[in-house]
Structure 1
Amino acid sequence: MSNFYCECCGTKSSSISSLTANSCSRHPLGPNKGKHKLYEGSEKAKYNCKYCGTSSASISTLTGNSCSRHPNGNGKGKHAPAL
């Protein structure tokens, strides 16, 4: 059985429909102002930020920190997992 993850916060779910039906605490518009967004990459041992290359063992840990090379500016956005 596959696991599905939110690209913004790393929440794990057993189905896409249950994942995308709930609010995301790290949504780009603000906490709980949007639904979870499906991470379309595969499960990995390490996840890398698509902006700066920082790596982490989980999407949740990766997206919990600010990215120095985020398109909105230094410290103005979180790391985002590369596919």
Structure 2
Amino acid sequence: MPNFYCEYCGTKSSSISSLTASSCSRHPLGGNRGKHKLYEGSEKSKYNCKYCGTSSSSLSSLTGSSCSRHPEGSNKGKHAPAL
């Protein structure tokens, strides 16, 4: 059975509908101001940030820290996973 993950916070769910129905604590508009967004990439042993290349073993740890090369400015946004 496949797992589905949120692109913003790495939350794991067994279905797309249950994932996207819940509020996301790391939503770009602010904590719990939007729903989880489906990460459309595959499960990997390492996830890389599409802005700076930082890698992590989980989506939640990657998206939990600030990115020095974020488009909104240095450390003004979180790392975003590359597909």
AA in 2 matched with 1:79: H
TM-score (norm 1): 1.00
What is the Cα deviation at residue 29 of structure 1?
Answer: 0.2
TM-score (norm 2): 1.00
Residue 48 in structure 1 maps to residue 73 in structure 2? no
Aligned to 1:2, the other structure's residue is in SS state: coil
Which residue in 1 is equivalent to 2:24? 24
Aligned to 1:17, the other structure's residue is in SS state: helix
Residue 38 in structure 1 maps to residue 38 in structure 2? yes
What is the Cα deviation at residue 3 of structure 1?
Answer: 0.1
Aligned to 1:61, the other structure's residue is in SS state: helix
Q: Distance in 1 between matches of 2:56 and 2:14?
A: 22
* Structure 2 gap segments, 5+ residues each: none
What is the Cα deviation at residue 52 of structure 1?
Answer: 0.2
Q: Distance in 2 between matches of 1:77 and 1:7?
A: 13
Which residue in 1 is equivalent to 2:73? 73
AA in 2 matched with 1:27: H
Q: How many matched pairs?
A: 83
* Structure 1 gap segments, 5+ residues each: none
What is the Cα deviation at residue 67 of structure 1?
Answer: 0.2
Aligned to 1:19, the other structure's residue is in SS state: helix
RMSD between superposed Cα atoms in Å: 0.2
Which residue in 2 is equivalent to 1:2? 2
